[in-house]
A and B are shown apart, each in its own frame.
Chain A
Amino acid sequence: MSLATRTASDAVTASLTGKSKDRDVRSMVFLGALWFSLFFGVVVLLALIIDTAIAGAPRFDLQLFTEYESRINRDGTGFRAGILGSVWLMATTALMAIPLGIGAAVYLEEFADKKSRVARIIEINLQNLAAVPSIIYGMLAVAIMGLLGYVYKGIVLGGAFALALLILPVVIITTREAIRAVPSDIRHGSLALGATVWQTTWRNTLPSAVPGIATGTILGLSRAIGEAAPLLILGLATVRDDPTGIESKVTALPIQIYNLSAMSQLEYQVAASAAIIVLLVLILGMNALAIFIRNKFQRSW
């Protein structure tokens, strides 16, 4: 090897090795700060969950699910009413929000003139609606129930109105995204065969968008199932009956948790802690299902 080439390769070696700029003090301090932020968030959350789980541990039993709230047998107090109530509320909410949300999304994506002012105003409003505090939707539901002539508003229908209004923006936005993800090639292929826009939407676009719609709806419902504020406004209270219809008096899991954890008796607080874990598992399960559906069925075009 000649001297010249050796110096050249030495220069290359020198430029490639040595102290990295990525490891100087400032970078390390900054990285440390990032780690701390992440650590803080995760640790606080974990500590809360573990603390709650330990507090609720004595009550992870069957009675937690099968019994009603009880003043006499406080050790055996259960969340049957809340769980069944939440199931009824979710089902009714879904029945209201899914058709309305899909209808609105289909109209906005496939039929509305996207450049028109009305469409743009709706667009902005949808984004804003998604950020409105949930308690406002509760007040809206109170007003609707009042208009419908219901004096006692803590029934399935009332709660479902509030929650459906609450998740409607999410359902509309995710459905629109799912519809938009269906390539226009497919639409044009359908239209070129002599299909109408309506047929194309119904037979091609919507079926392809189903996984996206399902994901969005489940995420919406998983938000709704944890909500207490709009239901409190409606006056949902303690119930010792299983709901039998949309006009049944109803309570919800978060409401029951809220009520019991405010009581002074230790047994109630333990039960409330256990119920919090149940609610968390439910929400995590719904979110996991949503992610599963998205990964498994969502097409990439």
Chain B
Amino acid sequence: MSKMPAEATANGTHTPHSEAPMTTFVSQAGHEPLPKLPPDPVMETKALNVFYGDFHAVHDVDLAFGRNEITALIGPSGCGKSTVLRCLNRMNDLVPGARVEGEVTYHGQNIYAKDVDPIAVRTHIGMVFQKPNPFPKSIYDNIAYGPRVTGMKVDSMDDLVEEALRGAALWDEVKDKLKQSAIGLSGGQQQRLCIARTIATKPDVILMDEPCSALDPIATARIEDLMLELKDDYTIVIVTHNMQQAARVSDRTAFFTAKPDKTTGNRTGQLVEYDLTNTIFSNPSDQRTEDYISGRFG
């Protein structure tokens, strides 16, 4: 399991707060403005290019994800947001024919280096999917799944399950039916269960691909609140089509677009602009960003 090189493993230990001096950012509607670029990025992409077979899906993406920040990836459909996100924990390895060039670093370690074990990467960098995908098992077993498969040392699984469910603001709703199947939960509860399941493995970074797109506005609001709480302990990257959501929860926003290639006509995704969310939404420096955002706001 821990074929991950020593330095990375040492850095990304299983407890989120382990890294000593933590830059504390004032989160929402800051009293103290955030620096333009994350000073202490947990993850970075450098000249990231992704291909699906011959198709060049994403071109030269350079991004940095700040510790205890929420970074939103926005842009029109097909511009490669999910592709970039999946590169961050090597889920793209599962797509047949997918090829990644460039670097993705986690605490300075390139997770695409030869000797890195993708399984180990995923224990540090968790993922929540667009469609809630609870396992057809009990609520308890869903949460305990990650710690069990990764062989995490756990004093009391019951306590860990409770902690994870509390962390995902689901405990009060399910504490009396932990042995019941997770399939019986509502969509919003299922999604929070999936978040709980992810935080039970105590990752460092949580990736979320349109986590609210299958949910109603109330369930969405609960997940957004949850994200803002989770930010104290985790670094979060979220893909969303909902501009308001990006504006409400994220500290930084990356805007992508797809540019048709002159010769092939393939639409290759690229990063247009990356900045503080406030700047992107109030004073973007690229015309395409402004068009997209204002188009969405009508």
Pairwise interchain contact A193-B149, C-beta atoms closer than 8 A? yes
CB contacts (< 8 Å) of B149 on chain A: these are: 190, 193-196, 199, 203
Closest-CB distance, B169 to chain A (whole angstroms):
20
Pairwise interchain contact B150-A195, C-beta atoms closer than 8 A? yes
Q: Mark A188-203, 1 if CB is under 8 A from B, else 0.
A: 1111111110010001
Pairwise interchain contact B119-A194, C-beta atoms closer than 8 A? yes
Residue B91 at the chain A interface, CB threshold 8 Å: yes
CB contacts (< 8 Å) of B269 on chain A: these are: none
CB contacts (< 8 Å) of B122 on chain A: these are: 191-194
Closest-CB distance, A206 to chain B (whole angstroms):
12
Residue B136 at the chain A interface, CB threshold 8 Å: yes
Interface size on B, residues (CB 8 A): 25
Contact of B126 among A190, A192, A204 (CB under 8 A): A192
CA distance A299 to B136 in the complex (A): 9
CA distance A129 to B169 in the complex (A): 54
Residue A29 at the chain B interface, CB threshold 8 Å: no
Instruction: Tell me the chain A residues, 123-149 only, with Cβ under 8 Å from chain B.
Output: none
Closest-CB distance, A116 to chain B (whole angstroms):
11
Pairwise interchain contact A194-B150, C-beta atoms closer than 8 A? yes
Give the size category of A's interface with B: 20 to 34
CB contacts (< 8 Å) of B126 on chain A: these are: 192-193
Residue of A nearest to B149 (CB): A195
CB contacts (< 8 Å) of A115 on chain B: these are: 96
Contact of B131 among A185, A190, A192, A203 (CB under 8 A): A185
CB contacts (< 8 Å) of A191 on chain B: these are: 91, 94, 122
Residue A256 at the chain B interface, CB threshold 8 Å: no
Closest-CB distance, B213 to chain A (whole angstroms):
14
Pairwise interchain contact B146-A186, C-beta atoms closer than 8 A? no
Q: Mark A90-128, 1 if CB is under 8 A from B, else 0.
A: 000000000000000000000000110000000000000
Given contacts A196-B119, A199-B149, contact A190 B135 (CB under 8 A): yes
Residue of B nearest to A182 (CB): B136
Residue of A nearest to B122 (CB): A194
Q: Mark A51-76, 1 if CB is under 8 A from B, else 0.
A: 00000000000000000000000000
Given contacts A193-B126, A194-B119, contact A186 B91 (CB under 8 A): no
Pairwise interchain contact B94-A189, C-beta atoms closer than 8 A? no
Pairwise interchain contact A192-B127, C-beta atoms closer than 8 A? yes
Q: Mark B185-199, 1 if CB is under 8 A from A, else 0.
A: 000000000100110
Residue of A nearest to B151 (CB): A194
Residue B25 at the chain A interface, CB threshold 8 Å: no
Residue of A nearest to B131 (CB): A185
Residue A208 at the chain B interface, CB threshold 8 Å: yes
Residue B52 at the chain A interface, CB threshold 8 Å: no
Closest-CB distance, B165 to chain A (whole angstroms):
16
Pairwise interchain contact B197-A193, C-beta atoms closer than 8 A? yes
CA distance A191 to B149 in the complex (A): 10
Residue B240 at the chain A interface, CB threshold 8 Å: no
Pairwise interchain contact A204-B119, C-beta atoms closer than 8 A? no
Q: Mark B135-150, 1 if CB is under 8 A from A, else 0.
A: 1100000000110011
CA distance A114 to B97 in the complex (A): 12
Residue of B nearest to A208 (CB): B136
CA distance A185 to B127 in the complex (A): 12
CA distance A189 to B129 in the complex (A): 8
CA distance A299 to B149 in the complex (A): 24
CA distance A194 to B9 in the complex (A): 14
Closest-CB distance, A157 to chain B (whole angstroms):
38
Closest-CB distance, B73 to chain A (whole angstroms):
17
Contact of B145 among A183, A188, A190 (CB under 8 A): A190
Q: Mark B179-223, 1 if CB is under 8 A from A, else 0.
A: 000000000000000100110010000000000000000000000
Pairwise interchain contact B150-A193, C-beta atoms closer than 8 A? yes
CB contacts (< 8 Å) of B150 on chain A: these are: 193-195
Residue B123 at the chain A interface, CB threshold 8 Å: yes
CB contacts (< 8 Å) of A199 on chain B: these are: 149
Pairwise interchain contact B91-A188, C-beta atoms closer than 8 A? yes
CA distance A185 to B201 in the complex (A): 19
Subset of 11 A-B contacts with CB under 8 Å = A185-B129, A189-B135, A189-B197, A192-B89, A193-B146, A193-B150, A193-B201, A194-B120, A194-B150, A204-B135, A299-B136
Residues of B within 8 A of A (CB): 1, 89, 91, 94, 96, 119-120, 122-123, 126-127, 129, 131, 133-136, 145-146, 149-150, 194, 197-198, 201
The 6 closest A-B pairs by CB, nearest first: A194-B123, A193-B146, A185-B133, A192-B127, A195-B149, A189-B133
Residues of A within 8 A of B (CB): 114-115, 183, 185-186, 188-196, 199, 203-204, 207-208, 299
